[in-house]
Amino acid sequence: MKKAIKVFKFGGASIKDAKAIINVGEILQNYKNQALTIVVSASGKTTNALEKVVGGHMKQDGSASNFLNEIKENHYRIINELFGDEHEIYSVINDTFVEIDWVLEEEPHDDYDYMYDQIVSVGELVSSKIVHAYLNEIGLSSHWLDARDVIRTNNIYREGWLIWEDTLKNATEKVPPLLEKGGFVVTQGFIGSTSENFTTTLGREGSDYSAAIFSFCLDAESMTIWKDVPGVLTADPRIFDDVTKLDRLSYREAIEMTYYGAKVIHPKTIKPLQNKSIPLYVKSFIEPSGGGTFISDEVVDNYPPIVSVEPNQALLYISTKDFSFVAEHHLSYLFKLIAEHRIQVNMMQNTAISFAVCVNDVDDRIKNFTESIQDNFKVIVDRNLELIAVRHYQKELLDNLKIGKIVLLEERIRQTVQLVVKNVPVMKRKQADIIS
C-alpha cells in the first residue's frame, strides 16, 4: 500500500544557520519512514540580500558583487559548520552561485522582473541543496527535486500565475516515484518555470503557496508549516504583547485573516488546501511537540479579536477632472488599469465625483498608474500609511488601536473593521526650525 504523503514547509528562519538546520534534522528524525515532501525557503534573509544584488546590478555601481560575496560567505559558513572542510557540497553550491555570476557579467537585462527572478531564485536552490545534503549526511535519505520541473507558471515574472494542469501532471509524474524509492523529497518553495524553461517566482513569501500547490497535486494527507511562533496568533507578537495562540481555525477564517496581512501564512495558501479538504498545521520548529494551530473545514465558533497590520500602504484619491460622476464605466476603466499595473487594492470607497483606494505601495507602480490616467483624472497620493484589520472586533480594542493615529478611512463589514491610518508624528517640529 502506498503511504499517505505529507508536505512540510520550512521557512527561512528555520534554516537560517547551521544550528537551525541541525534542529530541522532532529525534527525530521521523528518522521523517518514517512512519505514526506519537504519544501524549503531561502536561508534566513537571503532573499532580501539577493534583491540588493539585483539592485546593485541595475545601478552598475559595483555593489552587486559585494552583496553576492556576503551571501556566498554566509552559505559557506553554514556548510563548513555542517560538513567540515571537505565535502562535495562545496562544488555543488559553487556551481549554483555561478548562475548569478553569469547574469552579473552581462549588461542589466531590459526586463527587470525577468532578471530579478533569475537571480533571486538561487536562494532557494542553494538552501535546498544544503538541506538535502545534510539530511543524507545524518542518515535521512532524501532526493533533491528541482521545483522548476514541477511548478509551471505563465511568464509574469516576480508573480508567476500557476498553470495548474501542467503542474498537476508534472507533480504526479515526478514526486511519487521518488518517494516510492524510500526517503524524503526535498524541493524549493517560491520558484517555478515557464513552458520555455525560464525561471519564475511566485511573489515574496510564496513558499507557503508552493507547499500548498504540492499538497494539492499530490493529494497530501496534511500540510505543515514550521514557524518560529507557536502557531497562528491573534496578532503579530512583534507589534503587540498580549497575543494568544489560536488552536483551531476554519479555512474561511484563515483566508480572511491572511488576506488582511496576518503574516503567518501566505494568503494564496489556503485555497488549494480547502479545495481538497487538506488540513494545515502551523507548528513551532522551536517547540515541535507543541500543539500548534490546526486549520481545516470544521466550523469554529467564538473567535477572539484577531488583529493584523499591513504597512507600506498608500491612499489614492482619484477624482474626475470634468466633474462627471465616478460611475461604473469609470470604475471598470480604473480597475483595468490598476490590474495592469499590478497594484493590489485592499480597500475602497467612492463619493459622487471621487474614489479612494488603499493599495500596497510597491516599486514605481503607483507613479506609473497615476501617469497613465492623468489626462482625465486628478490623483492625490497619501503614502506611508498602515492598514489595520480587526476581525471579530470589540469596541474597546478598536478605541485602543486608534490611539496615536489619524484614521483616514474606516469600513465595517459584519465582524471585520478595516482602518487606514497615519501615525501621528511623535515630535512636532518647532516652528523656528522650519523658518530658519
Residues that bind ligand ASP (CB under 6 A): 11-12, 41-42, 47, 123, 189-190, 204-207
Q: What's the min distance (Å) between Cβ of 218 and Mg ion? A: 22
Round to whole Å and give the CA distance between 158 and 404.
Answer: 36
Instruction: Look at residues 239, 238, 267, 237 and name the one whose alpha carbon lies nearest to residue 253.
Output: 267
**DSSP-assigned letter for residue 236:** -
Cβ distance to ligand ASP smaller for residue 204 or 378:
204
Among Mg ion, ligand ASP, none, the one that 230 touches (CB under a kind-dependent 5 to 8 A) is: none
| 11 near Mg ion, judged by CB under 5 A | yes
Q: What's the min distance (Å) between Cβ of 409 and ligand ASP? A: 28
Q: What's the min distance (Å) between Cβ of 108 and Mg ion? A: 26
Among ligand ASP, Mg ion, none, the one that 193 touches (CB under a kind-dependent 5 to 8 A) is: none
Q: What's the min distance (Å) between Cβ of 209 and ligand ASP? A: 8
Q: What's the min distance (Å) between Cβ of 375 and ligand ASP? A: 37
Among Mg ion, ligand ASP, none, the one that 189 touches (CB under a kind-dependent 5 to 8 A) is: ligand ASP
| 56 near Mg ion, judged by CB under 5 A | no
User: How far, CA to CA in Å, does 330 sit from each of 138, 304, 317, 334?
Assistant: 62, 40, 14, 6
Report the chain's C-alpha Rg in angstroms. 23
Among ligand ASP, Mg ion, none, the one that 190 touches (CB under a kind-dependent 5 to 8 A) is: ligand ASP
| 12 near Mg ion, judged by CB under 5 A | yes
Q: What's the min distance (Å) between Cβ of 393 and ligand ASP? A: 29
What is the x/- site pattern for Mg ion, positions 27-46, by CB under 5 A?
A: --------------x-----
| 267 near Mg ion, judged by CB under 5 A | no
User: How far, CA to CA in Å, does 59 sit from each of 1, 71, 103, 271?
Assistant: 57, 19, 14, 39
# binding residues, Mg ion (CB under 5 A):
3
Cβ distance to ligand ASP smaller for residue 226 or 355:
226
Q: What's the min distance (Å) between Cβ of 210 and ligand ASP? A: 8
Indicate if the alpha-carbon torsion angle 96, 102, 105, 107 is positive or negative: negative
- For the beta carbon of residue 436, count every other beta carbon within 10 angstroms: 6
| 14 near Mg ion, judged by CB under 5 A | no
Q: What share of the chain is helix, strand, coil (3-state, %, to 5)?
A: 40, 25, 35
Round to whole Å and give the CA distance between 208 and 8.
Answer: 9
Q: What's the min distance (Å) between Cβ of 243 and ligand ASP? A: 22
Sheet of strand 416-423, all strands in order from the earlier edge strand to the far edge: 345-350, 354-360, 306-320, 377-391, 416-423, 405-413
Q: Enumerate residues 75-114 that contact Mg ion by CB under 5 A.
A: none
Among Mg ion, ligand ASP, none, the one that 234 touches (CB under a kind-dependent 5 to 8 A) is: none
| 261 near Mg ion, judged by CB under 5 A | no
Round to whole Å and give the CA distance between 92 and 108.
Answer: 26
Question: Would you state the cell numbers that stand for residue 6, as one nine-digit string?
Answer: 505529507
Three-state secondary structure call for residue 123? helix
Round to whole Å and give the CA distance between 250 and 73.
Answer: 43
| List of residues contacting Mg ion (CB under 5 A) | 11-12, 41
